[in-house]
Amino acid sequence: MALVQAFLNTRFNLMADDHGETFTDPEALVVWLASRGLVDERPDLTEADLVRAIAIREGLRALAFANNGRPLAAQTVTQMRRASSGLQVEVRLESDGPEFLAGDAYGVEPALGLLIAVAARAKVEGTWQRLKACPGRNCGWVFFDHSRNGSSRWCSMKVCGDREKSRALYWRRAERRG
């Protein structure tokens, strides 16, 4: 799941000054996929591959927001279905048991199929709903909820939680004054 979490957080390039999009072009996507061992060779990806990868990522992020209580828009569900339609994953019996593989196929599809398969496995294991997107203003960071009862809402109480708490306090005080 750390892999899926890392994929979802490519929305924020922490190395860039503006913490903007990591996948700014197909080459940036290839570099990331290669760094995670999701592609063997460096495939020549197209703009269409980039668009699809981002659509898959945003679909998974919408699900991570849903895991944190934000309802899914019907349009988002349609987009998610369209983007993920036809993706496949290879399964193999390896020495340490059955495994999902990114496969030897060339291109972005096996990598995207593997990422979704890992998320599906987490759902079977009961850990998927713990992958949550933070609802903090200007946040959206995806985190794994390690709390005992799965009730964490913010990426980090120190940053977003405190910020939201102090904002709620501010408004309560403002209302009292008003």
The site for Zn ion (CB under 5 A) is made up of: 134, 136, 139, 141, 155, 160
Following DSSP, what letter does each residue of 28-96 receive, concatenated?
Answer: HHHHHHHHTTS-SS-----HHHHHHHHHHHHHHHHHHHHTTTPPPPHHHHHHHHHHHTT---EEEEETT
Closest distance of CB 150 from Zn ion, Å: 17
Instruction: Using DSSP, state whether 116 is helix, strand or coil.
Output: helix
CB of 80 within 8 A of CB of 62? yes
- The span from the CA of 18 to the CA of 20, in Å, is 5
Measured in degrees and rounded to the nearest 5, phi and psi for residue 92 equal: -140, 155
Closest distance of CB 12 from Zn ion, Å: 11
Between 53 and 160, name the residue whose CB sits nearer to Zn ion. 160
